[in-house]
Amino acid sequence: MALALALVLHAHQPAGNFDAVIEANYHSAYRPFLEAAAARPWLRLSLHYSGFLLDWLAEHHPGHIAQLRGLVAAERVEVLGGGYFEPILAAIPSEDQQEQLTRLADTVERLLGRRPLGAWLAERVWEPELPAVLARAGVAYTLLDDAHLQAAGIDAAELYGYWKTESQGMAVNVVPSNFALRQSIPFRPEMESIEYLLHAGRQHPGALLTMGDDLEKFGAWPHTAQHVYEDGWLKRFFDGLEAHADEITTVRLGDYLGREPARGLVYLPTGSYPEMMRWAGNANWRGFLTKYREANLLHKTQWDLTRRLRAASIESVGTGSGTLPAAASKAVIEAAHTAVLAAECNDVYWHGWFGGLYSPHLRNVAFARLLEADALLPDPAPRRFDLHGDGTEVIELRSPTLRLLITPHDGGTIEELDLRAAHANLINSLQRRPEPYHAELQAAAYNPAHLPETAAAERPGAGALHELLRYDPYPRAAGRLYACRTCNSFADFQHLRLSADADLAGGAFAVENLSATQATLRRGRVTKRYILADNQLTLEVALEASAGPVLLEMVFNLLAPDAEDRYVEHGGERRGLRWAGELGAGPLRLHDGWRGASVTLEAHGIQAWWVEPLYTVSQSEAGFESNYQGSAVAAVWPAGTTRLAVKMNFFL
């Protein structure tokens, strides 16, 4: 009997990604692959598109959707479901799990005429309760990596076919994706994969082997468009399958599972694919939430909004009270819920070759969605609460224009500063941390995803990137106080060599007083007071005299450092966001023409402003890259200063 080969290809774009980026992926990968597949009448495929991308294609390329619908109707292609906004399903509220799964199933049925049987699991993040979650949504099967099943005790030589698993008495089928095929397709010579399949067929006649991976590998990754299409890799691969049709037959997963039994029952531990677990630092995807406070801030803000949504829903249904009629209130709550669902898109919560945590643009999109939901719900009173779920307290203050989260445990700083009407977190930065691959920057690993050799030949400027490797002792925030012991220079600030009092810079402050517009924090004889008044935020500090200069540091990220409409203005002169240096006293303004927003900083008695752009060095599938993570702006007072204040006025 012929070996059954299931090719399962997954296409995804983060919600809110630039149209130009999605368009480029369409022309380089999505369109040419589907056209190549459609030209082979014998070929059977299983495809998955995240919901945002599927609706984007329907709007921008309806002909592509029509072609896909025709292939579905001809029973040549099966389209899988999953979470509409591609969330890490295990990490979101139970009601959102069902909503995400149902929204994508409805979208697939509406656009392509068939309701999906299977579901793609974002980043193959598995937790043991998921069988019940999937079964409740009508999902019959999902795809995992073969490493998942090996972790459950199944021998590598037995990883063909599929298994059944369950939780709470509800079952779902799990199909292992073959590691060797994922590594070789499409990067190794096509006959290596054909020979591998032929050998597997001789060992296990009639068995199923599955290869599930990203559709973007077929043209959107660097240099793969030429390799896959122009140089003919895909044509030769399809030719090879066709030439061995008696020994290898392609199948849709749903068809195979409908006619062949499961190989048994299995219970899978928490996990994901091996690379993801290495990036997370342990066997649990949630390791990213402990490793990166910035990811945890977004994740726990989701949950806070979910609780507020539940409360608003109960009030709307139970009493009909409020300024809006009950029907309108329901519509508003649904709009807020959709914004939270969009913020659950997985990319921004992790980092590896593809994770978007290091991308300020994607973090900005997530913050914008969360703030959109926030704006639709009633404002809470000033709060002191454990937002992060880690035992530390944050203080939330609001005005009609601004919202800020103060972290008393981290030097009494502001970790989030929102311009509410713009749905923008103006800090949105990232602490620069050592990453395991930084050690490889000078030596190797320029081609971590094993791209075609032409990609490996184009080495990035390793020397220049290596100069950017600086590691922050504290999270990047606003309002950090540096009381220096010696006469530090701008170069010391730039290279993180300030001889500052660590207790004041990053130690825990006690909350001395809190009202609707003010928060007063104290550590020893040092007092920090935040005063909020509509579009103005003032930070006042009283401290003992310091032997060296005293700095108050603010971080602002206007996202596009090379855009002409983003700049720092001082003394009538504008400087781009990549500018670094020292400026004299007087007001300093940061302007964001894209949002039409600006902030003016005033600090009396200072001797200078120090401005330093912040860059991270991260790794993508093609190699290393740098990302602008905002600018640190420090007001600098001379030694001996005991009272200082920065006044910030925000305009939109």
Which residues neighbour 563 within 8 Å (Cβ) at sequence distance 6 or greater? 593, 594
* Peptide bond before residue 186 is cis, with ω within 30 degrees of 0: yes
What one-character DSSP code corresponds to residue 228? Answer: I
Beta bridge partners of 175: 143
- 214-224 burial, b if ≥16 CB within 10 A, otherwise e? bbbbbbbbbbb
d(CA 516, CA 518): 6
Assess whether 55 carries a catalytic annotation. Answer: no
Strand order, beta sheet including 510-514: 510-514, 518-523, 526-533, 536-542, 643-651, 597-602, 588-592, 566-570, 573-576
The owner of tokens 């809470």 is 380
Alpha helices per DSSP H over 113-232: 130-136, 146-151, 179-184, 190-203, 224-225
The CA distances from residue 298 to 14, 289, 375, 623, in Å, are 15, 9, 16, 27
- Nearest 5°: the CA angle 189, 195, 197 is 115
Both structure tokens of 179: 């590691």
Q: Is 548:640 a contact under the CB 8 Å cutoff?
A: no
| Beta strand extents in 485-579 (DSSP E only) | 510-514, 518-523, 526-533, 536-542, 550-556, 566-570, 573-576
Catalytic annotation, pick one of 123, 501, 592, 621:
123
The CA distances from residue 201 to 3, 81, 183, 248, in Å, are 5, 29, 19, 7
Both structure tokens of 190: 């096509």
d(CA 89, CA 98): 9
Q: Is 141:253 a contact under the CB 8 Å cutoff?
A: yes
Assess whether 553 carries a catalytic annotation. Answer: no
Both structure tokens of 507: 């130690």
d(CA 398, CA 379): 8
List the one residue out of 518, 437, 509 whose CA is nearest residue 477. Answer: 509
Tally the residues of the chain: 652
List the one residue out of 404, 400, 442 whose CA is nearest residue 421. Answer: 400
Using DSSP's 3-state secondary structure scheme, residue 350 falls into: coil
Catalytic annotation, pick one of 55, 214, 231, 540:
214
Catalytic residue set = 123, 214
